[in-house]
Amino acid sequence: MKILVCISNVPDTTSKINFTADNKEFDKNGVQYVINPWDEYALTRAIELKEAKGGTVTVLNVGEADAEPNIRKALAIGADDAIRVNAKPVDAFFVAQQIAAVAKENNYDMILMGKESIDYNGSQVHGMVGEILGIPSVVPAFKLDMVDDSTARLEREIEGGKEVVEVKLPFVASAQQPMSEPRIPNMRGIMTARTKPLKVVEPTGAEAKAEYVNYSKPEKKGGVKMIDPENAGELITLLRNEAKVL
């Protein structure tokens, strides 16, 4: 079984975020990058399936050279090899086109990724990849098991409960917790990751469909107003006229 796991290189949530060029570009200076946490659920589950059933796990990243330390981390966690599409991930459609091109060339049985990236929270790529390839897309899944060599069973949240889906290979799925428990690479994994294959390929000619006009930070939180617990009328007035939640 050949599994492709797509990972994004995203800013750590503790990083200080700034923008440049009149708020049209993200400022990378001083920003620490990590593997997208949602993608780590997909990566760990793929490795667990490989350990249980055999096969290979390939990590794919659409990004520039600065993503390679985190690609190597994914290899240290347990992936067998990696591919980096040498392009800036300009929008979801562009990224999906690159993933689909790699998938077509290598005939993977399963394509996994996180339900979204924590920087843009778009939750679009998995559905686009499935549509481009003409294969099922199950999103977002919190459980993934193999029924037999050609069928997988996934569970996903729906309004008011959960849905159990059985799907034939190949398919696309996005992961959310608690699909797996993300792993920390051990010293042996870190050492072996240095020699595992990391192939760099050029992007296809696909064009982005969206353009980010500008970025802005959330407004700073205002001061806290303390209200006497006996003065319910004042609280209602503030909620209605200032907070505008009533």
CATH label of the domain that carries residue 173: 3.40.50.620
211-243 residue pLDDT tens: 888 888 888 877 788 888 888 888 889 889 888
Residue 28 placed within a domain: yes
Average pLDDT over residues 167-181: 95
Residue 194 placed within a domain: yes
41-100 residue pLDDT tens: 999 999 999 999 999 999 999 999 999 999 999 999 999 999 999 999 989 999 999 999
DSSP-assigned letters across all residues of 11-76: E-TTSPP-EETTTTEE--TT--EEE-HHHHHHHHHHHHHHHHH--EEEEEEEE-GGGHHHHHHHHH
pLDDT exceeds 90 at position 198: yes
Residue 233 placed within a domain: no
How many separate domains does the chain show? 1
Distance CA(188)–CA(219), nearest Å, equals 45
Going by pLDDT thresholds of 50, 70 and 90, the confidence category of residue 35 is very high
User: CA–CA distance from 230 to each of 233, 234, 237 (Å)?
Assistant: 9, 9, 14
Residue 145 placed within a domain: yes
Q: Structural domain of residue 127, as residue ranges?
A: 2-213
pTM over cut 0.95? no
What pLDDT does residue 174 have?
Answer: 96
Residue 231 placed within a domain: no
Residue 240 placed within a domain: no
Residue 232 placed within a domain: no
User: At which residue do the structure tokens 């889906």 appear?
Assistant: 165
Residue 219 placed within a domain: no
Average pLDDT over residues 2-25: 91
Q: For residue 1, which amino acid is it?
A: M
pLDDT exceeds 80 at position 111: yes
